[in-house]
Every structure is written in C-alpha cells, then in structure tokens.
Amino acid sequence: MNMEVTQLEPYILKGSIKVIDRFFSVPVDYAKPDGPHIRIFVRNLIPLESGTDPAAESNLPYLLYLQGGPGFGVDLSFSVDLGTALHKKKYQTLWLDPRGTGLSTPITADIFQTKQMDDEAIAKYLKHFRADNIVRDCETIRHFLLDGKKDPEARKWTIFGQSFGGFCAATYLSFHGDGLKEVFLAGGIPPLVDSPDVVYEALVLKVEERNKVYYSKYPQDVRNVRRILGFLEGNNVVIPNGGNLTVSRWQQLGIQFGSHGGIDRVHQLVFRAITDLDTFGKLSYGLLDSVQNSQSFDTNPIYAVLHEPIYCQGRMASWSAHRVIQKNDRFVWGKVKLMSDDVPIYFTGEMIFPDMFEDYHHLRPLRGAAELLAYDEDWPMLYDKEVLKKNQVKVNAATYYDDMYVNFGLVQQTASVIGNVEQLITNQSFHDGIHKHMDSILTTLFDLSKRERD
C-alpha cells in the first residue's frame, strides 16, 4: 500500500501562505508494487486569508499544478506567484516535482554511476518516467489526501498543466478522468501522435520563422554568428563544467527563440562572443559560463533523454529531430559555411541531437542508454482517443498561435478530438505566456470555465 513518507513542519511565507512540504513513497514500476520505490515531493500552499482554522483549510478544494518539461521540478518563487493568483479562486494548491525531478528522487548521471548500472539497466529504469507514471503518482497522492471525504465530488481535484504538464493532463483525462473536477492548460494541448516526426516537421517551420525574425532584428548577426561558428569549428572550446561548446551546441541557443525576450538574450550572447573574439581572440570565461547557465540539459537530464519518447506510443523515435533537421540546409553548418557570407545559419529549437550526449558533460554517462531508448518501440499508450472524445470534464486552455514548442496546427487537431474544450487563442503570448501575462490569461481561463454563451 502506498502511503505518505513524511510531512515536514509547516511554515508561513510572506503573503500569509502556509506551506506543507510532503513526500510520498511510490513504486518505480506500478506493475510491481512490491518492487523498488522512489519518493515523490509535492509542496502544498494554503492561503491564510480566512485565519488558521484547520477545518477551513481542509475544506479548501485542491488545485494540482503539473510542470512543463519533461524533466523539471517546480520553482518555489513561481509557485508562490501563480499560487497567490489561484488562491483568490478559493483553492489550496499543490506543486508537484514530477518523478525524477527536483526533490522527487532526482535522476542524475552520477546516481546511476554510484549504483553501477549499465546502459540497459539505465534505459529500463528511465522508461518509467513518462506521463503515464506521473499521472499514476498524482492518483496515489489524490487518494491519500481525498479518499476520506464523504462527498464523492470532494474526492476529485482540479489540475493546471503548463506545456508538458498539459500532455500529462491529457493522459490523466484518458485513464483517470474520474478523479478530475476541471482542467486548466497553458500551452499544453498535446499532439495526439505516436512518434515525434510529425511534431518536428512542424517545429522546424516555426523555428525557421523565428530565425528570420532574429536576423531581421539583428542583421549584423548573420556574419557574427558565422564567425563564431567558424571559431568553434576550428578550436576545442571547453565550458566551465567540462562540456564542449561546439557548433551544434551554439545553434541550440535558439531554443530561447520561443519565449518572451529570447531573441534578445541570444543576441546578447552573440554580441559578447564577438566582443571577446575582437578583444582576446578567444571566448572569455564569463561568456562560456553564461552559455552554460542558459542551457539546462546537464542539470535536467530527463529533458534530453526522454524528450522524444514522450511522443512515442508503440513506435520508436530514432533521433527524430536529427533526421528532420537535415532536410533543411539552412540548419546545417557544413552546407551554409560553403555559401556566401550573407547567408544566415539557422539556430535550432527545442530539439535533441545525438551529439548532445558528448557535448554536455553530465549527459555523457547517459549516451548508451539514450541510444537504446531512441530505437526502442515498446512504449505503452499515453492517450485514449475514444475516451477523450467522450470527455465531459471542463478543459480550459490558453493556446498560443506563435508557440514554437507546441505547434498551433497540431493543437487544433487535438482540440477537435477532446470533448468539452474551450480555448483562449492569442498571438500576443509565446509559450511562457503564463509567466509573462499571468493575470490576463488566468482571468480569461476562469471566464471560459463558466461556459457562459453570448
């Protein structure tokens, strides 16, 4: 039987928010409940506007936040900011570190080395860290917290999925929808595909579009970026933690093009790199440290290892992004460098490539496991389209027309399948809109929840 491991002593944050840090013990493999267990961390935030009456606190309905990723825990400061807004809607909130992230028995390469696990054992272990088991973890927690309620409706909770958290929400609706009152999504309606090729074919077009915006805004960077890549190609550049700064890794800075201010942040790195080359003939420690800190794969390895498998249902990924990107010469430095110097080389987007498991220091020990997972086709189903068609749980979604991470066209295909979906569609926010335009997006989502018709 799954049970809570520990509940730490509550504390109060500024803004009259009570915090209860909770840990739960769950099986790595739910098919083997007596097998190895891991710990799942969830932070419970409770507004104290009505005083500190325990009965009043326990009667506040739960809203569970599902983080984007895959492979990221929840930042405390963000949970307080968004939580404060959600508490005004008379919820207490739960902030889950999905299995393998944050404080939930985190996955790092050094842990596997300590356990002396080989590539096959690591790959087998990592297969248990997709949306299906994240949802099972959520259900374990829900049953623990709410099964004692007399009213069956009070045993349900509301979830809020950001990005990959929305993918988890669709899995939740597919297999455990009877535990849900309502669903809120921000950039999180998933493509209902069984392999990632369709996703990356659409993504490349949007990334190409964002590259054109970048070079239109900073035309001098056409030659600047080519110069930087020429330097990286001709020199062995090592960043502070021992990783390699290669041509491919520099192109991966384009992942920022899909968020507010991302194009400007990348330009500042280009500007600093060019200044370094002019001044020192090499890249400075400060620049290399800035590049390292802007890329999160070393500290969030699930983001790299499972990024393509999150789309797989009975099919292999086989390094999808790498295959798809080769079809467009503008992303291939080996071809662009032979063109005239006014031809831009394109940055890549949210894509995973085989060479990342050499360039990123803390991904190197996972290279063999990543290769095994890339060619594994034994992936269970994540969605049940027939169940989703019959869905009656209210789904209120913020959808971003210019989203570079979750393609708008694929989102609309899915939205036409899932029952009871209402969307806020906007071209004024990028994928991180809930961070940038929190108040306006939440206001509209809760208005949609009313299902009032004009």
Which residues, given as ranges, of the chain have pLDDT below 70? 1-5, 50-52
CB 391: neighbour CB atoms within 10 A? 19
SS (H, E, C) 389-415: HCCCCEEEEEEECCCCCCCHHHHHHHH
- From 87, 132, 137, 163, active-site residue: 163
Measured distance CA(376)–CA(336) in Å, rounded: 33
H/E stretch holding 87 reads helix 76-87
Predicted local confidence at residue 331, as pLDDT: 98
- From 132, 197, 221, 403, active-site residue: 403
Predicted local confidence at residue 3, as pLDDT: 57
H/E stretch holding 436 reads helix 433-436
Measured distance CA(59)–CA(154) in Å, rounded: 9
Q: Are 64 and 24 in contact (CB under 8 A)?
A: no
Residues in CB range of 424: below 8 A, 6 or more apart: 396, 397, 398, 399, 441, 444, 445, 448
Predicted local confidence at residue 394, as pLDDT: 98
Q: Which residue has the tokens 């800035």?
A: 290
DSSP 309: G
Predicted local confidence at residue 70, as pLDDT: 97
- From 87, 307, 362, 431, active-site residue: 431
Predicted local confidence at residue 56, as pLDDT: 76
Predicted local confidence at residue 55, as pLDDT: 72
Q: Is the pTM of this model over 0.85?
A: yes
Predicted local confidence at residue 441, as pLDDT: 97
Catalytic annotation present for 403: yes
